[in-house]
Amino acid sequence: MPTAALYIHIPFCEKRCVYCDFYTVAGQRNRIPDYLDALRAEARLRSAEPFWRRRKFSTIFFGGGTPSLLTPQQVAEILDVAYSSFNFTQPVEITMEANPGTVTPKQLAEYRRAGVNRLSLGIQSFDAGELQMLDRIHSPEEAMACALAARQAGFENLSFDFIFALPNQTLTTWEATLQQAVELAPDHISAYNLIVESGTPLDHQIRKGKVSPLSEDEEREFYEFTIEFLERHGYHQYEISNFARPDHEAKHNIKYWDGSPYLGLGASAHSYDGKRRFWNVANLRKYLEALNAGVLPEDGHEKLTRHQRIFENGFLGLRQNRGVHLESFRKKFRVEFDEVFNGKTAELEKAGFVVRQDGYVKLSRAGIFICDEICAQLEPAE
């Protein structure tokens, strides 16, 4: 039985970034104590459900928002609630996202003592102009100092998040960011191609002609450069946007891609039990009201069809460097991978976009660059 992942959403932020599409609230730090009370109530309610009571968890992830707006004591209290509510294997990977502009060296040391053993710093860029364009509240110098302080605090598993292909960004500034990153020697790097989400301030700026996005060819050039640069510096690509030193892959994120169960606590958090996906209300007031009334804040759900589970297994498997294990796929769905996808796999293999190796089918280097287009072709018939 696969272990599960526990996600805890902390929606609070100092200010909302121009590109952000996640559920966040800015300027309401005074609501954090009430929110933590609600998280405790939600954990108790979910732990009473047979599926989650029987399941063992192996990862915890504090995401946001800006989880580093919580005090170390508050983080410790949430971890105590998690451990008292659910069953865990040992050791547990405990990740917390942090904004370099919100933490001090003392706080970092206290987060580590509280039990957080993996820190994910939302640096995004080491270029001052790019940080300003993204509405980040930290400077390049603060990000560097934060990374060094994290090591001094005892974090042996450190991850950096970056965004590339920004409006007006050049390969020169992006290379400088990556060079600074590898000099700081994190264990893991997430590098995401900028996606302009509908309704965000960045989307409005582009629609009004205030900024211009890069072309698809330029985006691909950035992506190719990213892969080659990071692999040259010892970071292997294990997923479309994620790179790690050996044995430092993000165990929590891999659970999403492997189809393992995950439970999300907090406003807007999503969950999956292997057959059913459900999500919480993306509204702080409604979230608090529901839990104050002793009711789960669930806002919607869907039961995945076999067709959906097959497609997601294939899509998420191909996003990973190792690909889809054919024998495991056959045992899980009682059908061959090639049979489900109507011969498309063989066509893509002949075209050089897909390769077979050691019992896996995976994307080639050429296929990685058009992953979404390939997966769209692999939509199985109902």
Give tens-digit pLDDT for 117-140: 999 999 999 999 999 988 888 999
Can you tell me the mean pLDDT for 90-114? 96
- pLDDT for position 276: 95
Asked if residues 240 and 371 have their Cβ atoms less than 8 Å apart, the reply is yes
- pLDDT for position 139: 95
Q: How far apart are the first and last CA of the chain?
A: 28
Q: How confident is the model at residue 202 (pLDDT cuts 50, 70, 90)?
A: confident
- pLDDT for position 17: 78
pLDDT exceeds 90 at position 346:
no
Q: What is the CATH number of domain 4-257?
A: 3.20.20.70
Asked if residues 246 and 196 have their Cβ atoms less than 8 Å apart, the reply is no
Structural Rg of the chain based on CA atoms:
21
* 219 compared with 375, residue with greater pLDDT: 219
Least trusted range by pLDDT, from 182-196, 206-220, 253-267, 299-313: 206-220
- pLDDT for position 381: 59
* 350 compared with 279, residue with greater pLDDT: 279
Return the domain boundaries, the chain.
Answer: 4-257, 306-377
- The whole-chain average pLDDT of the chain stands at 93
Q: How confident is the model at residue 380 (pLDDT cuts 50, 70, 90)?
A: low
Can you tell me the mean pLDDT for 294-309? 94
pLDDT exceeds 80 at position 204:
no
Can you tell me the mean pLDDT for 163-191? 96
b (16+ CB within 10 A) / e for 177-194 = bbebbbebebbbbbbbbb
- pLDDT for position 211: 74
pLDDT exceeds 90 at position 196:
no
Q: How confident is the model at residue 319 (pLDDT cuts 50, 70, 90)?
A: very high
Asked if residues 220 and 193 have their Cβ atoms less than 8 Å apart, the reply is no
Q: 2.40.50.100, 1.10.8.100, 3.20.80.10, 1.10.10.920: which CATH number matches 306-377?
A: 1.10.10.920
pLDDT exceeds 70 at position 1:
yes
- pLDDT for position 248: 98
Residue with tokens 């700026």: 205
Alpha carbon separation from 377 to 316, 341, 366, 368, 373 (Å, rounded): 14, 9, 16, 14, 7
Can you tell me the mean pLDDT for 28-43? 97
Alpha carbon separation from 90 to 47, 57, 120, 210, 374 (Å, rounded): 19, 9, 21, 51, 38
pLDDT in tens, 219-263: 999 999 999 999 999 999 999 999 999 999 999 999 999 999 999
pLDDT exceeds 80 at position 218:
yes
pLDDT in tens, 75-100: 999 999 999 999 999 999 999 999 99
pLDDT exceeds 70 at position 23:
yes
